[in-house]
Amino acid sequence: MSTQPREKTNVAILVTGQTLFMIAAITVMTLSGVVGQQLSPDPGLATLPIALMMVGTVISTLPASLFMKRVGRRLGFITGAVVGGVGGGLLSFAAIAAGSFWLFCAGNLLLGLYQGFAMYYRFAAADVASPSFRSRAISFVMAGGVVAAFLGPWNASATLGWVAGVPSGGPYLIIALLALVAIGLLTQLRVPASGEPQPGDVSRPMVAIAAQPAFLVAVLAGAVGYAIMVLVMTATPLAMRSAGFEMSQVAFIMQWHVLGMFAPSFVTGSLIARFGVDRILLAGAAILTAAMLLSNLGQAIGHFWVALVLLGVGWNFLFIGGSALLSTVHSETERGKVQGINDLIIFSLVAVGSLMSGQLFHRLGWETLNLVMLPLIVLVALSVLGWSLGRRLARQRSLD
């Protein structure tokens, strides 16, 4: 079997799996708050299903990584798609049919488990790709979100009435069906032996791995970038509605934001290979800064459009850059715990950001909310600069 065709087939499977999963995630972000409002006994709990999806991701991400360390990527991804994707979609549909808010919350929690496993598609791309193709493989997997940017909102609106007697249930059935398609594709995934832990491999303590400056930079860039993006993204519909915009305009802005998140993935890996991961991380921090500052220049549709596109692009550079950097700080046998801790930290902050977003918006207002994000972005930039300078000094000392 030729290595290169198998490599491309594996990456294509992961790209498709990412696309199918992202359709589910965008459907939940678009629709579950509306369904929650319809089912909830308390209007204040309307967005609880979305928050519980994030909680499901947080509580499953580390167990998912450790589980895949034992059984392999393929079986782990299939398990996540069966329990989280199929189970979560069907349970959410059944909850709507029964008119049960808390059952609907449970279904969204399971969909968070689907996300907890699926977020490792990007790391699996690093496992199945050759070193020269690794950063681009991660980017291609993340680029699956471009298709989902169109299909997710379409699924959340066009399939609402597909099942007579269960209004709003159709999109969740589609989630379950797409998860079944993903399962079929994942059965064909082949992770080479070099991408799986080998017997006898030595694993360093997590404290030693975490002490590496590169690990700290990778985690900080990914976690802060993701948390800021989710917090501001979640507040955007509130800000636009308070400024008098229609929901159709909100949907337009959010679609462009998702495109900003994933469209750069076609080139982010190549940019990392050409310019270095440190420069891409700094570029991501600079773009996020521009997004925060632009939000303070006005609240016309153009301000929201440009700011939200920049927010997505900045997230892309920080998240993919952080993921690529993280893949360089651990061995194969250390992979499970390192990637698990990384995503546990990221999605813990994401969950906090999604829960805090509404409160921060109502207490601080749109402009101040964006400005409050700036110190966190500066922290990321300073950590990257310090790590990059330390590497250069170490190289100079080795040459002297």
Highest-confidence segment of 156-165, 189-198, 328-337: 156-165
pLDDT, tens digit (0-9, with 9 covering 90-100), for 48-93: 788 889 889 888 888 888 898 888 888 999 999 999 999 999 999 9
Residue 200: what pLDDT? 53
Indicate the range of 107-116, 372-381, 387-396 predicted with least confidence: 387-396
CB 95 within 8 A of CB 35: no
* Angstrom distance (rounded) from CA 330 to CA 333: 8
pLDDT tens readout for residues 202-217:
677 778 887 888 889 9
Q: Lowest-pLDDT range, 254-258, 381-385, 392-396?
A: 392-396
- The mean pLDDT of the chain is 85
Residues of the chain with CATH 1.20.1250.20: 1-190, 206-387
**Which tens digits make up the pLDDT trace of 354-363?**
777 777 887 8
pLDDT beyond 90 at 304: yes
In this prediction, residue 400 carries a pLDDT of 63
1-190 belongs to which homologous superfamily?
Answer: MFS general substrate transporter like domains (1.20.1250.20)
Query: Between residues 193 and 54, which one has the greater pLDDT?
Result: 54
At 269, the amino acid letter reads G
Q: Where are the beta strands (DSSP E) in the chain?
A: none
What is residue 1's predicted lDDT score, i.e. its pLDDT? 38
Query: How does residue 132 score in pLDDT terms, banded at 50, 70 and 90?
Result: low
Average pLDDT rounded to a whole number, residues 144-157: 80
Flag the least confident range among 267-276, 283-292, 326-335. 326-335
Confidence of residue 235 (pLDDT cuts 50, 70, 90): confident
CA-CA distances (angstroms) from residue 183 to 10, 21, 57, 76, 196? 14, 11, 19, 11, 20
In SS3 terms, 77-112 reads as HHHHHHHHHHHHHHHHHHHHHHCCHHHHHHHHHHHH
Closest to 326 measured CA to CA, from 243, 217, 247, 224: 217
| pLDDT tier for residue 268 given thresholds of 50, 70 and 90 | confident
Q: Which residues contact 244 (CB under 8 A, 6 or more apart)?
A: none
Q: Contact, 14 vs 90, CB < 8 A?
A: no
Confidence label for 301 from pLDDT (cuts 50, 70 and 90): very high
Q: What tens digit of pLDDT does each residue of 102-112 get?
A: 999 999 999 99
| Structure confidence at residue 44 as a pLDDT band (50, 70, 90) | low
Question: Which CATH number describes the domain made up of 206-387?
Answer: 1.20.1250.20
CA triple 228-324-346, angle to 5 deg: 35
What percent of the chain is predicted at pLDDT more than 90?
35
DSSP assignment of 327-385 equals TTS--TTTHHHHHHHHHHHHHHHHHHHHHHHHHHHHHH-HHHHHHHTHHHHHHHHHHHH
Is it the case that residue 258 has pLDDT exceeding 80?
yes
CB 336 within 8 A of CB 197: yes
Q: What is the pLDDT of residues 317-334, one digit of tens each?
A: 999 899 888 888 777 777
Nearest to 74 by CA among 192, 178, 203, 199: 192
- pLDDT exceeds 70 at position 193: no
Between 144 and 277, name the one with better pLDDT: 277
Does residue 192 carry a pLDDT above 70? Answer: no
Number of helical H runs and strand E runs in the chain: 18, 0
pLDDT (0 to 100) of residue 2 = 43
Does the pLDDT of residue 94 top 80, yes or no?
yes
Of the chain, the end-to-end C-alpha distance in Å amounts to 46
pLDDT reported for residue 107: 96
What is the band of 287 on the pLDDT scale with cuts at 50, 70, 90? very high
